[in-house]
């Protein structure tokens, strides 16, 4: 048996510094957007760049809701409702179907199981932008362009394969002996699933749900092609309301981006316990 490798202090510090630098690169753009949301537009265009706002203001958020005389308000509330309905509905359906599909792949053997699972995974390799034109033509023929229903169908198709793959791994980590023992004791297969396997996989399902929700909430490319009016536009698409032919309202766009970020952060913190448990599920045997 080989001796355990002892990590040297300089190696630990090298790892910490590397992680810190990587996190710094990832967080600086988001931090810049948040700071820009609280600064006047003149500071955005200043040269040299002003990193920390010198004149903090909430006027950018006031303009979003029409509370400022300098700009007419945008239908932010309608965009928020559209995003919430579309994201929650597509996530709920994707979790229900994905959980059933993941359980079937993990627990049953049937003809074509391998190729079918591979086909689900290959569907994730197709960029969403590449599907925008075919989807636009198909949705136009079906009459569901510029509708929440059309966007929900798209996000369901995107999230279901990923959810099946994720939940399949979680259910494989649960010993099948637990379900069989419950059935021997008198439980039906459904009761064994609902009372034994589902509680054990709940953290994994929470992880799948948060990823599916964030995918739907933040998606822009397809939503920008399939929506046209306020009745169906989502929050990311609403960002384009701040662009004109020759100018861009960077402060207003940043304020809108902050409003998009807040619900995602709140939801992540709410399910943080289940999210971490789901990501580490099966890591220790």
Q: Which residue's entry shows tokens 């701040």?
A: 242
pLDDT score at 5 = 61
Q: Report residue 199 as tokens.
A: 């509680």
Q: What CATH number should be reported for the domain whose range is 76-279?
A: 1.10.3720.10
Q: Report residue 52 as tokens.
A: 């920390």
Q: Rounded to whole angstroms, what are the CA distances from 116 to 99, 101, 110, 160?
A: 16, 11, 10, 13
pLDDT score at 277 = 58
Q: Give CA angle at 100 (95, 102), nearest 5°.
A: 90
Domain ranges of the chain: 9-64, 76-279
Beta bridge partners, 248, equal: 243
Residues of the chain with pLDDT under 70: 1-7, 68-73, 245, 273-285
pLDDT score at 51 = 82
DSSP assignment, residue 37? T
Q: Rounded to whole angstroms, what are the CA distances from 36 to 40, 50, 56?
A: 8, 10, 10
Q: What is the pLDDT of residues 78-120, one digit of tens each?
A: 999 999 999 999 999 999 999 999 888 988 888 888 888 888 8
């Amino acid at each position: 048996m080989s001796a355990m490798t002892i990590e040297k202090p300089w190696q630990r510090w090298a790892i910490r510094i590397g992680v810190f630098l990587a996190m710094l690169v990832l967080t600086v753009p988001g931090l810049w957007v948040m700071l820009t949301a609280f600064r006047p537009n003149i500071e955005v265009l200043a040269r040299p760049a002003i990193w920390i706002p010198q004149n903090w203001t909430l006027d950018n958020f006031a303009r979003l809701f029409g509370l400022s005389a300098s700009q007419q308000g945008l239908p932010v509330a309608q965009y928020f409702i559209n995003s919430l309905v579309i994201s929650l509905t597509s996530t709920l359906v994707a979790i229900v179907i994905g959980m059933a599909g993941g359980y079937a792949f993990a627990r049953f053997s049937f003809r074509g199981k391998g190729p079918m699972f591979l086909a689900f995974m290959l569907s994730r390799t197709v960029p969403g932008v590449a599907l925008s034109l075919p989807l636009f033509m198909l949705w136009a023929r079906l009459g569901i362009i510029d509708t929440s229903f059309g966007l929900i169908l798209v996000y369901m198709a995107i999230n279901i394969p990923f959810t099946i793959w994720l939940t399949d791994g979680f259910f494989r980590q649960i010993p099948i002996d637990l379900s069989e023992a419950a059935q021997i004791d008198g439980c039906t297969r459904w009761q064994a699933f609902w009372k034994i396997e589902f509680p054990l996989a709940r953290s994994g399902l929470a992880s799948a749900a948060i990823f599916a929700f964030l995918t739907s909430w933040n998606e822009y490319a397809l939503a920008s092609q399939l929506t046209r009016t306020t009745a169906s536009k989502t929050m990311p698409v609403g960002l384009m309301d701040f662009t004109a032919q020759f100018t861009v309202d960077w402060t207003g766009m940043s304020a809108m981006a902050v409003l998009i970020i807040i619900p995602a952060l709140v939801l992540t913190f709410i399910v943080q316990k289940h999210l971490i448990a789901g990501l580490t599920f099966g890591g220790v045997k």
